[in-house]
Copies of this chain bind each other. A is one copy, B any other.
Amino acid sequence: AARDTGSPTLAVIPGDGIGPEVTAEALKVLEVAAPVKFESTRYDLGAERYLATGEVLPDSVLAEIRGHDAILLGAVGGKPNDPNLPPGILERGLLLKLRFELDHYVNLRPSRLFPGSVSPLAGHVLDKGEVDFVVVREGTEGPYTGNGGALRVGTPAEIATEVSVNTAYGVERVVRDAFARAQKRPRKKLTLVHKTNVLVNAGSLWWRLFEQVATEFPDVTTDYIHIDAAMIFMATDPARFDVIVTDNLFGDIITDLAAAITGGIGLAASGNVNPDRTAPSMFEPVHGSAPDIAGQQKADPTAAILSGALLLDHLGHAEAAAAIEAAVLADLTERDPGTSRRTSEVGDAIAARL
């Protein structure tokens, strides 16, 4: 659980590719902004460690990480199609393992079109209103549980299944968290995104609990749309969204689109939050490890820096978090889209504004 006094402890997992570069900038900015001094411990986990040692996340390391107040993660993932990296080994064994083990049931992904950042959407779409919404993605269930299997692998008779697991326990808690977040925002609007017309078992459960929890929040306006229709609204009228709650896989898909339309994955921050504080929450940019540009100081660290702001907010330092956001906003507004800065220069520029 987070302690507000003394030195809060931070487990830092820089990871692979551009992960270490963007994490360094996030730490640089955190240090300047935070009203407390963090005690950081660095954990080398990711593709590099796996390729060198065969270890993904040893139990002892997980136990150590669990003892911290929060986790800051860069990005994990090796070169695409590396034959020595079985697909999913790092994702399932490290990233998802942390999310599941530490009960990060709220995967929080704010999307905001900052002034100065370039959206792929046309002016006639952006003119409809301000784009500023949050996706509350369920983080511990759905098709991400690793349930399922395969029979007769490699033969023409192979069958492979993936099971989406949804429980009343798991759905209700994330839905309630989303309602509480919606209630705190000026528009107080919550949209459930699912595919209730096809995935009728999971859909009925989500729908019923959504309706049920809604009665506790009579001042929150509710709305339902299918995941496919959500794609259309995201592209043609993103201003209509305030808070979205959805399952693990739909949330994965919708938040990458949300990041794209609000200026790109280089700006998208996320928090893997355990609202009950029974274990540390983890903050990471939505982007991947981008091995093709690693080590060249080409990556934009803004998403990592904004993830640091979410971390501060979670630990109770709302003012410091807001200060980082304001500094990022100022930096974005004054960025010259014609010149590209080095990763460290972006971090320096944002830190200098604090």
List residues of chain A with CB under 8 Å of any chain B CB: 80, 87-88, 91-92, 96, 118-125, 143-144, 146-150, 153-169, 172, 195-205, 207-208, 224, 227-229, 231-232, 234-236, 249, 252-257, 259-261, 264-265
Chain B residues whose C-beta falls within 8 Å of the C-beta of A143 in the assembled complex = 143, 162, 164, 198-199
| Residue among A124, A144, A232, A265 with the highest chain B CB neighbour number at 10 A | A232
The reply to whether A87 and B203 form a contact with Cβ atoms under 8 Å apart is yes
Could you pull out 9 A-B pairs where Cβ atoms are within 8 angstroms? A121-B121, A147-B161, A156-B168, A159-B166, A162-B166, A162-B201, A164-B164, A232-B259, A235-B260
Chain B residues whose C-beta falls within 8 Å of the C-beta of A88 in the assembled complex = 196-198, 200, 203
What is the minimal beta-carbon distance from A104 to any residue of chain B, in angstroms? 15
Query: Which partner residue on chain B sits nearest A152 by CB separation?
Result: B168
Q: Which of B161, B198, B205, B259 contacts A144 (CB 8 A)?
A: B198
What is the minimal beta-carbon distance from A250 to any residue of chain B, in angstroms? 8
Query: Which partner residue on chain B sits nearest A172 by CB separation?
Result: B156
Chain B residues whose C-beta falls within 8 Å of the C-beta of A164 in the assembled complex = 143, 148, 161-164
The reply to whether A160 and B232 form a contact with Cβ atoms under 8 Å apart is no
Chain B residues whose C-beta falls within 8 Å of the C-beta of A118 in the assembled complex = 124
Instruction: Give the complex CA separation of A53 and B156 in angstroms.
Output: 44
Count of identical protomers in the assembly: 2
Known: A92-B198, A235-B257, A259-B232. A159 touches B165 (CB 8 A): yes
Chain B residues whose C-beta falls within 8 Å of the C-beta of A254 in the assembled complex = 231
Chain B residues whose C-beta falls within 8 Å of the C-beta of A168 in the assembled complex = 155-159
Instruction: Give the complex CA separation of A151 and B90 in angstroms.
Output: 32
Instruction: Give the complex CA separation of A32 and B196 in angstroms.
Output: 39
What is the minimal beta-carbon distance from A248 to any residue of chain B, in angstroms? 9
Instruction: Give the complex CA separation of A231 and B168 in angstroms.
Output: 30
Chain B residues whose C-beta falls within 8 Å of the C-beta of A96 in the assembled complex = 198
The reply to whether B204 and A232 form a contact with Cβ atoms under 8 Å apart is no
The reply to whether B265 and A202 form a contact with Cβ atoms under 8 Å apart is no
Known: A163-B161, A201-B150, A202-B160. A232 touches B257 (CB 8 A): yes
Chain B residues whose C-beta falls within 8 Å of the C-beta of A159 in the assembled complex = 165-168
Instruction: Give the complex CA separation of A120 and B169 in angstroms.
Output: 39
What is the minimal beta-carbon distance from A131 to any residue of chain B, in angstroms? 12
Instruction: Give the complex CA separation of A205 and B154 in angstroms.
Output: 8
Query: Which partner residue on chain B sits nearest A199 by CB separation?
Result: B162
Closest 8 CB pairs of A and B: A228-B256, A231-B257, A158-B168, A88-B200, A160-B201, A235-B260, A162-B164, A160-B205
Chain B residues whose C-beta falls within 8 Å of the C-beta of A207 in the assembled complex = 87
The reply to whether A232 and B205 form a contact with Cβ atoms under 8 Å apart is no
Chain B residues whose C-beta falls within 8 Å of the C-beta of A153 in the assembled complex = 204
The reply to whether B236 and A256 form a contact with Cβ atoms under 8 Å apart is no
